[in-house]
């Protein structure tokens, strides 16, 4: 159906080689021949099969994004969408296409093996992930987003620990002492030894550090960590359950590891008739586009999702280009985050039970 190089060659009365030259290196043939060949190419609307071409050139013109979840799930999180958009920026620039690679048979590894691309980008894959070993062994250029800065991977990320510290500090400074942390779910498709995501762990560490400054910890009364799926529903469910918990005093603040989860918390508050931030302060992480226009606008950690994607893609392309150059040095890119205080966080209502104490001044630094 689709014309092949042979068809063109025959029609033009030349060899396949000549057609190939016309397309790839016109200087090697005469102008007349070039014109003749190209007119047929245009007439038949011929485009060399990228598949066949790849067989020899090893270049496909496609970047792959290894997703930790099925496409449907992954794109529920606007933060992921932002990353994809960032990668898209570079794709446009370099005329690359982008292939989304969901786990195959439940394994990211399978998807990576079958991947049909020049280079790969992963989200949330740590250096111990089985996929890293495979890709390094096969020398497939790849860059991790939100992975870790080790020799095994080229990574683009942020200072999760520091950002989390800042966020928790903000809440503590406001006077909150009973705060619930909505943590990212342990990623089911990770390897056993990496049960919790790196990002989660680093943020937990940051939260802990801030708490420690007030002699608090994750185990202190009033502080709790509950897992929530990265979606509105996930946040809603987690907070609704929290609010329904009887016996203990309710938290005065909720901090989510993803804005989308924080917005789920909004939903739960609405149902429970709780005012934000009057009854409950809510903070998020990511600063997705919605965060600003939410009601109330969400206090969160701004994370440059688009830039992350773009930076990762740029690095992959760099790896792609500099494969032979000894250039292939391990690189890490750490992008900036910042605390964006909006209207969803405020000082807690004075606690009738323990007034005076809850209102403690800001801690020693």
| Site residues for a second copy per CB under 8 A | 1-2, 45, 47, 50-52, 54-55, 60-62, 64, 70-72, 74-76, 81, 84-89, 91-92, 95, 97-102, 104-105, 111, 113-116, 134, 137-139, 232, 263, 266-267, 289-290, 293-295, 306
Residue 290: both structure tokens together: 């919605």
Residue 23 as a binder of DNA (CB under 7 A): the answer is yes
Minimum distance from residue 100 beta carbon to DNA (Å): 23
Identify which of 125, 71, 77 has the alpha carbon closest to the alpha carbon of residue 98: 71
Q: In this structure, are residues 250 and 275 in contact, taking their beta carbons and an 8 Å threshold? A: no
Give the range of 28-36, 91-99, 244-252, 311-319 binding DNA by CB under 7 A: 28-36
Which of 44, 48, 231, 351 binds DNA (CB under 7 A)? It is: 48
Give the range of 19-27, 177-185, 187-195, 356-364 binding DNA by CB under 7 A: 19-27
Residue 323 as a binder of DNA (CB under 7 A): the answer is no
DSSP 8-state assignment for residue 145: E
Residue 120's DSSP bridge partners are 64, 142
Sheet arrangement for strand 281-283: 224-228, 179-184, 253-256, 281-283
Nearer to a second copy, 60 or 164 (CB): 60
How many CB atoms within 10 Å of residue 24? Answer: 11
3-state secondary structure of 214: coil
Place of tokens 């790839």: 24
Residue 341's binding partner, choosing from a second copy, DNA, none, with beta-carbon cut-off 5 to 8 A by kind? Answer: none
Residue 349's binding partner, choosing from DNA, a second copy, none, with beta-carbon cut-off 5 to 8 A by kind? Answer: none
Question: What is d(CA 122, CA 125) in angstroms, rounded to the nearest whole number?
Answer: 6
Question: With 0-12 CB in 10 A as exposed, 13-18 as middle and 19+ as buried, what is 329?
Answer: exposed
Residue 151 as a binder of DNA (CB under 7 A): the answer is no
- Rule CB under 7 A: which residues touch DNA? 2-6, 13-21, 23-24, 28-30, 32-33, 46, 48-49, 51-53, 55-57
């Amino acid at each position: 159906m689709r014309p092949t190089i042979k068809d063109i060659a025959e029609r033009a009365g030349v060899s396949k080689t000549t057609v190939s030259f016309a397309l790839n290196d016109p200087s090697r043939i005469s102008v007349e021949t070039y014109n003749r060949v190209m007119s047929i190419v245009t007439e038949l609307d011929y485009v060399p099969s990228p598949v066949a071409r790849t067989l020899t050139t090893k270049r496909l013109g496609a970047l792959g994004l290894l997703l930790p979840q099925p496409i449907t799930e992954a794109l529920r999180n606007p933060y992921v969408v932002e990353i994809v958009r960032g990668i898209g920026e570079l794709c446009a620039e370099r005329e690359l296409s982008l292939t989304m690679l969901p786990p195959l048979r439940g394994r990211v590894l399978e998807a990576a093996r079958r991947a049909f691309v020049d280079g790969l980008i992963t989200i949330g894959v740590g250096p111990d992930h089985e996929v890293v070993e495979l890709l390094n062994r096969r020398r497939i250029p790849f860059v991790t987003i939100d992975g870790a800065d080790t020799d095994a991977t080229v990574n683009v990320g942020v200072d999760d620990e520091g950002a989390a510290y800042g966020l928790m500090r903000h809440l503590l400074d406001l006077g909150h002492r009973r705060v619930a942390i909505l943590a990212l779910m342990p990623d089911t498709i990770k390897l056993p030894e990496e049960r919790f995501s790196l990002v989660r762990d680093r943020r937990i560490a940051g939260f802990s550090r801030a708490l420690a400054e007030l002699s608090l910890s994750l185990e202190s009364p009033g502080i709790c960590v509950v897992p929530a799926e990265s979606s509105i529903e996930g946040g809603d469910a987690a907070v609704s359950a929290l609010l329904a918990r009887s016996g203990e005093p309710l938290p005065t603040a909720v901090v989510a590891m993803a804005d989308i989860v924080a917005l789920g918390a909004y939903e739960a508050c609405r149902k429970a008739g709780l005012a934000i931030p009057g009854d409950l302060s809510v903070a998020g992480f990511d600063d997705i586009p919605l965060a600003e226009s939410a009601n109330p606008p969400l206090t969160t950690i701004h994370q440059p999702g688009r830039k992350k994607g773009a930076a990762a893609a740029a690095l992959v392309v760099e790896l792609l280009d500099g494969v032979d150059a000894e250039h292939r040095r391990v690189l890490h890119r750490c992008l900036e985050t910042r605390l964006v205080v909006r209207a969803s966080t405020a000082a807690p209502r004075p606690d009738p039970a323990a007034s005076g104490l809850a209102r403690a001044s800001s801690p020693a630094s």
